[in-house]
């Protein structure tokens, strides 16, 4: 395979691991750090991210990448947001103040609860391997090759809360607290987990994205 994929580098992502994983899965990767008209013609677009929502949005705007993503989302071609890249797909975040997102999906990003369902404190950030639970049919999506309860890797303190339940593709349970793990609407996909760090299961997600 030699499938073209454009990856946005806006200064807060874990691009190297994402690039390597995509290339391992058969992608020909182009890295973009500043918006140009031709990049809106990308065949597939990936927005990784590690860090704070507000910092990420500030960098996207400074580089003109926010408008590029919004234009691309309307083309119908496959888009994948990873970790903070998924969070900024939503309307807003409460992380360190109020921050406006890309508005591709309705909903907000809020802190992962500091206690489990039984009220006992647990670790924040939420770090580790969790079993994916099916919230909507995975057939035909980036999770099509994943079996329910396969484990994937998370590192985050905030999580998206979609306003529409139909957007939720998968969740995980952290000490009884449900966390939105993946979303889907039309050509738009988001993974709160890191597919590039989730072994064969994660590589399967990326391979499926390349085949959309």
Q: In what order do the strands lie in the sheet with 79-82?
A: 27-32, 3-8, 45-47, 79-82, 188-191, 177-185, 168-174, 133-134
> Residue 15: what pLDDT?
85
Q: Over 90: is that where the pLDDT of 39 sits? A: no
Q: How confident is the model at residue 209 (pLDDT cuts 50, 70, 90)?
A: very high
> Residue 41: what pLDDT?
81
> Residue 12: what pLDDT?
82
| Segment 48-71 mean pLDDT | 94
Q: How confident is the model at residue 14 (pLDDT cuts 50, 70, 90)?
A: confident
Q: Over 90: is that where the pLDDT of 175 sits? A: yes
Q: Over 90: is that where the pLDDT of 190 sits? A: yes
- Domain 3-211 has what CATH class? alpha beta
Q: Over 80: is that where the pLDDT of 13 sits? A: no
Q: How confident is the model at residue 95 (pLDDT cuts 50, 70, 90)?
A: very high
Give the CB-side neighbour count of residue 23, counting CA atoms within 13 A. 10
157: nearest Cα among 53, 81, 17, 15: 53
This prediction has a pTM of 0.97
| Segment 18-31 mean pLDDT | 96
Residues annotated as catalytic are 83, 194, 196
> Residue 144: what pLDDT?
98
> What percent of the chain stands above pLDDT 90?
92
> Residue 194: what pLDDT?
97
What is the C-alpha separation between 202 and 125, in angstroms, rounded?
21
């Amino acid at each position: 395979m030699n499938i073209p994929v454009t990856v946005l580098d806006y200064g807060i992502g874990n691009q190297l691991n994402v690039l390597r994983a995509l290339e391992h899965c058969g992608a020909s990767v182009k890295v973009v750090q500043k918006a140009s008209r031709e990049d809106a013609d990308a065949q597939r677009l990936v927005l990784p991210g590690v860090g704070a929502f507000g910092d990420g949005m500030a960098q996207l705007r400074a580089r003109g990448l926010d408008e590029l993503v919004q234009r691309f989302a309307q083309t119908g071609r496959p888009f994948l947001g990873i970790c903070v890249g998924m969070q900024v797909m939503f309307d807003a975040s409460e992380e360190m103040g109020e921050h406006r997102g890309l508005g591709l999906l309705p909903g907000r990003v809020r802190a992962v609860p500091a206690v489990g369902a039984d009220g006992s404190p647990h670790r924040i950030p939420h770090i580790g391997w969790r079993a994916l639970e099916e919230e909507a049919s995975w057939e035909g999506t980036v999770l099509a090759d994943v079996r329910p309860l396969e484990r994937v890797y998370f590192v985050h303190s905030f999580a998206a809360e979609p306003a529409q339940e139909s957007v939720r593709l998968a969740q995980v349970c952290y000490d009884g607290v449900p966390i939105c793990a993946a979303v889907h609407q039309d050509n738009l996909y988001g993974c709160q987990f890191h597919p590039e760090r989730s072994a064969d299961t994660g590589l399967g997600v990326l391979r499926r994205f390349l085949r959309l």
